[in-house]
Structure 1
Amino acid sequence: MAANKKLKILCLHGYRQHGYAFREKTGSFRKSLKKYADFVFIDAPHEVCAEQGGGMSHAPSLGWWFSREDNYYKAIEYSDIEQGFAESVGYILKFIKENGPFDGILAFSQGASFLSMLCAMKESKEISLDVSFVMLFAGFKSRCSPHRKYYSKDIKCSTKALLCIGEADEVIPLDMGNELIEHFQDPVVLHHPGGHFVPNQLDQRKAYSEFLEQQMSQS
């Protein structure tokens, strides 16, 4: 990669969110890293049920898959349902093919859980995912039973990864966030004292910059 060429990063929002909202919420984060990367935001393909906020306002409320058949999802609940998951995998791969190439993928909450499984599918050659790194914020291992295979101890994802975990996260408990560490080979792990958001204090900005600089030097 040329010294002045920035990374191109695809961004996956969390549950009950959409691409534009995630873009707005990460404004200071993106500004602090603008010399390293350009960020592209995408909407998840599935609308959340009215019970959780979908269909009740002009702004879309979207998700990557559901743990109930009525388009409902809760990260901490165990389920045997993965409604919409396969469609989201195809949707993402199509988007990357048509809008890439991308150097990396950044994802938040349910988007980060989805990304962890994409990395496992890449590792087992179930899909072709041509990105060299991932950044996962408030990620976790899916508790949907059809997804257990993606977290097998036989699969250790070699994609370069940065995991950012909130110690005061009330949506994704700390133990759930920490479980994802073992999913990757030697990830950069960044704990922060805050909750369910993308932190952007001095210490975190330094870690992000160092991680992206390393990816640029290896590209």
Structure 2
Amino acid sequence: MDRIRRGIISGHHLPGAPLREQALQVEYGCSRAPIREALRLLERRGLVTHEPRHGFRVREASADEIRQIYEVRALLEKQVVLGLIGRTTPTLTAELRAANATMKAHRAAGDVERYIEANIAFHVILRAHAPNEPLGRALDVVYEMAEPMRHALLQKSLKTSMAAEQHDEIIALIEADRVADAAEAMHRHVFTGLPVALGELED
């Protein structure tokens, strides 16, 4: 499953493209059963769609679906930060700064994959300091659905991404124990990418 998933996220399998079991068997050197199981799992994770008699396709998000993904993620990420009320520590801000510095280094190097990994690590640190399993599970689903879109956008706009600078604002507010303000800043931060994502859909 991981190899097919990576092919979808990287754009090797394009949005809307059919995922024919026989072709995937040849490409990935697997028998039919694991290919079918992988496609079913990817469907549950929101990366693949299935229609009876038409088979599997890479999910192709509409403008409405893109907006919904951003809206849900913004609300969930805001709630993660609100969970830090009464839990801010120097260790938390130090970890966030380290992850953000790594993001900036990978942006300077033009490394999209590692930039995304560092970005996810930043958000995972917030979750780790305010554990909430249902919230974390919901975010995992949203992250997965957004992953191909995130890769496609950053392949074109990595150098101009301001996510790390927006993270700096969030870190400063957390350090000042202004957690509610940091949560609002997180909400704005997530929505920053929406116009770019919608513009990509129109291109």
Asked whether the two chains share a fold, i.e. TM above 0.5, the reply is no
Query: Could you say which TM-score interval applies, normalised by the shorter chain?
Result: under 0.3
User: Larger strand proportion, structure 1 or 2?
Assistant: 1
Between 1 and 2, higher relative CO (CA 8 Å, sep ≥ 6) is seen in 2
